[in-house]
């Protein structure tokens, strides 16, 4: 038995007799679970998330069970309070955790739902340690960064391995080696390899080879210094992935290899590519997956059939991504590009998935509704083939968003409303079809005379969520013979007629107004299975007009694109090519009947 297994079996508490502190969950089997750790060096913003999830996908494709975890250095307990302007979108997991966009990248690439165990922050770890301390959990010891905080990190990782029965726990450390805030993670991960023993942990260091334009050649000093920081922390990387603009040259690779003690066959060029979706295949063709399997003695657990099938499925998606597209459409998204691009990352991805599947190049234009007057809606929107009003908070720009919805509704322009965009559609309908001129939302006007959108804590109490945000995956009952039913045909649970969708909202349709809205033709085609909470709306006589109180973008995956986005892109193609037979676009995603003649034809 390797000495490290003794360590794992005997240790557990640090007392004055022993300096070892390896809290190990009960039943943990040493050697069963392996660990891959990705560190960033030199600088952030190198695409560590996309690289890590691509490598994790490669391993998953081999039939291995992967439990990814993103370890963030910040002290926030979760991402719920982070501004999207600073930190990109808040990605909501099915279990309701508000996390960051990197978890979205993992979910999309692994095509796997994650949970709150797949994400942690320094704040969460310190909270656990401090709570334990208050409960006398450290047997009279002074509580220290080492061994207690680091011990908590190792415990969490082993617990994750067991809970998700992982062949590989795939750890991505946030930030860059050298940051104060992630230093204890690095130390914990160093200890993890020591305790788990050889062949259990594989360290991958992402680095950056600079090519200053004035020199026109690749320079490795920054990479060397970055990697040295990792070595100083006691971590000998096993694999190096060198980001660069152009393929990393042999000489540069040699220098990197030589200064970091990593053999050449484990130094990989991770240069820029046209599509991030090609990363997995190129990592594979260069053999990075094979090196990881070798380091971790995992070749025996590979399922070759699974791998062939997963690769073929992925390749067929990538072929669609890189192909020249037959159709071209333009979608207007109400939001500010410069500030909000990352805030709407999942929407961009969802549109990208659907464009590839429907053979359309989809251009997204950003419409800043805070600068636009409501009267300008027609002039602004006439160039588009579809419009998305995404989620949002606060009143700025809402009148113009409502004007955009009205324009889409009256001009047969395909419309997808997401969360706030769903609520905007209800307000437009109440005002301009039902005739409740002052209809509004109490989010923007607490004294609204007709608050069709309101905060309804009593509804949420029924769900046990108090007056707070309604968060995470919930069931949605889909109406028979609706557009929603057609779109979700492959996802609807046949027994319950339900789908699952992810929510993040406080306000909703006030049930008092449901009847009058429906009497005037608005169809609520998705509802809470028991409560009068409206979750999907649509218009039967419109080519494509749909809204979700949830966030459909969060569940779109490259090989399982989200149906409401597929419907939107298909309808947008039809809008751009009114004379094209629907079969030439999609028989699956377009409604069979021809739409009625437009009230006032939209220019295209």
Q: 543 near 582, Cβ under 8 Å?
A: no
Please state, in angstroms and rounded to a whole number, the distance separating the CA atoms of residues 541 and 522. Answer: 10
What is the bridge-based pairing of β-strands 267-271 and 201-208? unpaired
Judged by CB under 6 A, does residue 340 bind ligand GLN? no
Query: What's the closest the beta carbon of residue 508 comes to ligand GLN, in angstroms?
Result: 7
Say whether 254 is catalytic. Answer: no
Token representation of residue 181: 């805030």
Angle subtended by helix axes 48-61 and 288-295, to nearest 10: 70
Residue 89 interacting with ligand GLN (CB under 6 A): no
Give min distance, CB of 369 to ligand GLN, in A.
14
Site membership for ligand GLN, residue 391 (CB under 6 A)? yes
DSSP structure string for 145-163: IIIIIHHHHHHHHHHHHHH
Q: What is the largest CA-CA distance in the chain?
A: 84
Measured from the CB of residue 391, what is the shortest distance to ligand GLN in angstroms? 3
Name the one residue in this structure whose structure tokens are 């700025």: 396
Residue 458, φ and ψ in degrees, nearest 5: -65, -30
Q: Can you tell me which of 94, 443, 450, 454 binds ligand GLN, judged by CB under 6 A?
A: 443
Q: Minimum distance from CB of 419 to ligand GLN (Å)?
A: 3
Residue 431 found at the interface with ligand GLN (CB under 6 A): no
Q: Of the listed pieces 50-58, 65-73, 391-399, 568-576, which binds ligand GLN according to CB under 6 A? A: 391-399
96 CB contacts (<8 Å, ≥6 apart)?
471, 472, 473
Residue 48 binds ligand GLN (CB under 6 A): no
Q: Establish if 553 lies at the interface with ligand GLN (CB under 6 A).
A: no
Residue 83 and residue 307: Cα distance in Å, rounded?
39
Give the nearer residue to ligand GLN in terms of CB position, either 377 or 418. Answer: 418
Q: Is the dihedral of CA 464, 469, 473, 475 positive or negative?
A: positive
**Which one of 327, 357, 551, 575 is the catalytic residue?**
551
Please answer whether residues 480 and 432 qualify as being in contact, where contact means their C-beta atoms are separated by less than 8 angstroms.
Answer: no
Number of residues that bind ligand GLN (CB under 6 A): 10
Instruction: Kindly report the backbone phi and psi dihedral angles of residue 117, in degrees, each rounded to the nearest multiple of 5, phi listed first.
Output: -75, -10
Q: How far is the CB of 503 from ligand GLN (least distance, A)?
A: 8
- Which 556-595 positions form the footprint of ligand GLN (CB under 6 A)? none
Residue 420 engages ligand GLN in binding (rule: CB under 6 A): yes
Q: In terms of CB distance, is 296 or 387 closer to ligand GLN?
A: 387
List 19, 393, 518, 521, residue binding ligand GLN (CB under 6 A)? 393
353 versus 504: smaller Cβ distance to ligand GLN:
504
Kindly state the smallest distance separating residue 432's Cβ from ligand GLN, in Å: 21
Binding span for ligand GLN by CB under 6 A among 3-11, 135-143, 286-294, 385-393: 385-393
C-alpha to C-alpha distance for 471 and 474, rounded to whole angstroms: 8
Long-range contacts of 151-154 (CB under 8 A, 24+ apart): 151/14, 151/21, 151/22, 151/23, 151/188, 152/23, 152/125, 152/128, 153/71, 153/125, 153/184, 153/185, 153/188, 153/189, 154/22, 154/23, 154/188, 154/191, 154/192, 154/195
When the beta carbons of 51 and 344 are compared against ligand GLN, the nearer one is 344
Report, in Å, the least distance between residue 33 CB and ligand GLN. Answer: 37
The active-site residue out of 404, 542, 553, 575 is 553
Q: How far is the CB of 423 from ligand GLN (least distance, A)?
A: 6
Could you tell me which residues are beta bridge partners of residue 8?
A: none
CB nearer to ligand GLN: give 107 or 443: 443
Q: Torsion over CA of 148, 153, 156 and 158, rounded to 10 degrees?
A: -100
Question: Is 207 in a helix, a strand, or coil?
Answer: strand
Among 419, 443, 528, 538, the one annotated catalytic:
419
Total number of residues shown for the chain: 604
Q: Which is nearer to ligand GLN, 360 or 420 (CB)?
A: 420
x/- contact string, 483-522, with ligand GLN (CB under 6 A)? Answer: ---------------------xxxx---------------
Is 551 assigned a catalytic role?
Answer: yes
Question: Is residue 389 part of the contact set for ligand GLN (CB under 6 A)?
Answer: no
Distance CA 556, CA 565 (A): 8
419 binds ligand GLN (CB under 6 A): yes
Helices (runs of H) and strands (runs of E) counted in the chain: 22, 21
Q: Which is nearer to ligand GLN, 410 or 454 (CB)?
A: 454
Nearer of residues 335 and 558 to ligand GLN, judged by Cβ: 335
Spatial separation of the C-alpha atoms in residues 216 and 560, rounded to whole Å:
42
Nearest-approach distance from CB 505 to ligand GLN, in angstroms? 3
Does position 392 bind ligand GLN by CB under 6 A?
Answer: yes
In the numeric block, the tokens 């007709």 are attached to 450
Residue with Cβ nearer ligand GLN (255 or 470): 470
Q: Which residues contact 400 (CB under 8 A, 6 or more apart)?
A: 334, 369, 370, 372, 373, 374, 376, 377
Q: Is 332 a binder of ligand GLN (CB under 6 A)? A: no
Residue 84 engages ligand GLN in binding (rule: CB under 6 A): no
x/- letters, 449..478, toward ligand GLN (CB under 6 A): ------------------------------
> Based on CB atoms, which residue is closest to ligand GLN, 317 or 429?
429
What is the nearest approach in angstroms of ligand GLN to the Cβ of residue 335? 11
- Respond yes or no: is residue 553 known to be catalytic: yes
- Location of structure tokens 């319950």: 496
Q: At what angle do helices 221-232 and 250-260 cross, to 10 degrees?
A: 20
Contacting positions for ligand GLN (CB under 6 A): 391-393, 419-420, 443, 504-507
Give catalytic residues, as residue numbers. 419, 551, 553
């Amino acid at each position: 038995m390797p000495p490290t297994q003794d360590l794992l079996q005997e240790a557990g508490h640090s007392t004055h007799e022993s300096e070892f502190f390896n809290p190990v969950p009960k039943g943990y089997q040493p050697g069963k679970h392996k660990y891959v750790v990705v560190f960033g060096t030199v600088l952030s913003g190198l695409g560590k998330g996309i690289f890590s999830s691509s490598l994790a996908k490669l391993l998953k494709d081999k039939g291995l069970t992967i439990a990814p975890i993103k370890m963030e250095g910040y002290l926030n307990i979760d991402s719920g309070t982070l501004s999207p302007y600073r930190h990109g979108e808040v990605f909501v997991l099915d279990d309701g955790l508000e996390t960051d966009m990197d978890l979205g990248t993992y979910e999309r690439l692994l095509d796997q739902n994650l949970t709150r165990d797949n994400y942690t922050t320094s704040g969460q770890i310190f909270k656990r340690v401090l709570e334990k301390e208050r409960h006398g959990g450290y047997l009279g010891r002074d509580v220290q960064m080492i061994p207690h905080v680091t011990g908590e990190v190792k415990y969490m990782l082993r617990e994750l391995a067991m809970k998700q029965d992982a062949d590989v726990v795939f750890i991505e450390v946030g930030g860059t080696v050298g940051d104060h805030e992630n230093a204890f993670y690095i130390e914990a991960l160093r200890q993890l390899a020591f305790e788990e023993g050889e062949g259990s942990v594989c360290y991958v260091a992402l680095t950056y080879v600079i090519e200053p334009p004035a020199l026109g050649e690749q320079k490795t000093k920054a990479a060397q210094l970055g990697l040295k920081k990792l070595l100083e922390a006691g971590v000998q990387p096993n694999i190096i992935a060198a980001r660069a603009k152009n393929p990393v040259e042999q000489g540069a690779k040699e220098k990197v290899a030589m200064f970091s003690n990593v053999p050449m066959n484990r130094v990989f060029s991770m240069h820029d590519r046209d599509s991030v979706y090609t990363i997995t295949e190129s990592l594979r063709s260069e053999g990075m997956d094979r090196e990881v399997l070798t380091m971790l003695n995992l070749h025996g657990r590979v399922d070759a059939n699974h791998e062939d099938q997963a690769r073929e499925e992925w390749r067929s998606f990538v072929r669609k991504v890189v192909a020249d597209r037959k159709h071209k459409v333009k979608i207007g998204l109400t939001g500010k590009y410069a500030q909000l691009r990352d805030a709407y990352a999942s929407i961009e991805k969802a549109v990208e998935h659907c464009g590839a599947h429907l053979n359309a190049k989809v251009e997204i234009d950003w419409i800043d509704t805070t600068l636009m007057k409501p009267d300008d809606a027609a002039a602004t929107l006439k160039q588009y083939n579809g419009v998305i009003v995404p989620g949002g908070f606060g009143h700025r720009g809402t009148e113009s968003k409502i004007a955009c919805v009205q324009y889409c509704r009256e001009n047969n322009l395909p419309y997808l409303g997401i969360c706030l965009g769903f609520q905007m559609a209800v307000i437009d309908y109440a005002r301009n079809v039902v005739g409740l001129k002052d209809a509004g939302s109490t989010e923007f006007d607490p004294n609204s005379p007709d608050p069709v959108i309101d905060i309804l804590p009593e509804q949420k109490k029924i769900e046990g969520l108090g007056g707070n945000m309604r968060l995470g995956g919930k069931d949605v009952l889909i109406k028979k013979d609706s557009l929603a039913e057609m779109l979700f045909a492959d996802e609807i649970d046949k027994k319950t007629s339900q789908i699952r969708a992810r929510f993040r909202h406080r306000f909703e349709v006030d049930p008092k107004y449901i009847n009058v809205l429906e009497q005037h033709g608005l169809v609520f085609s998705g509802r809470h299975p028991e409560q009068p909470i409206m979750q999907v709306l649509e218009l039967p006589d419109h080519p494509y007009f749909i809204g979700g109180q949830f966030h459909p973008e969060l569940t779109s995956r490259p090989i399982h694109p989200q149906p409401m986005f597929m419907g939107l892109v298909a309808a947008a193609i039809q809008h751009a090519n009114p004379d094209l037979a629907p079969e030439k676009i999609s028989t699956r995603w377009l409604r069979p009947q021809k739409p009625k003649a437009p009230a006032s034809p939209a220019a295209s």
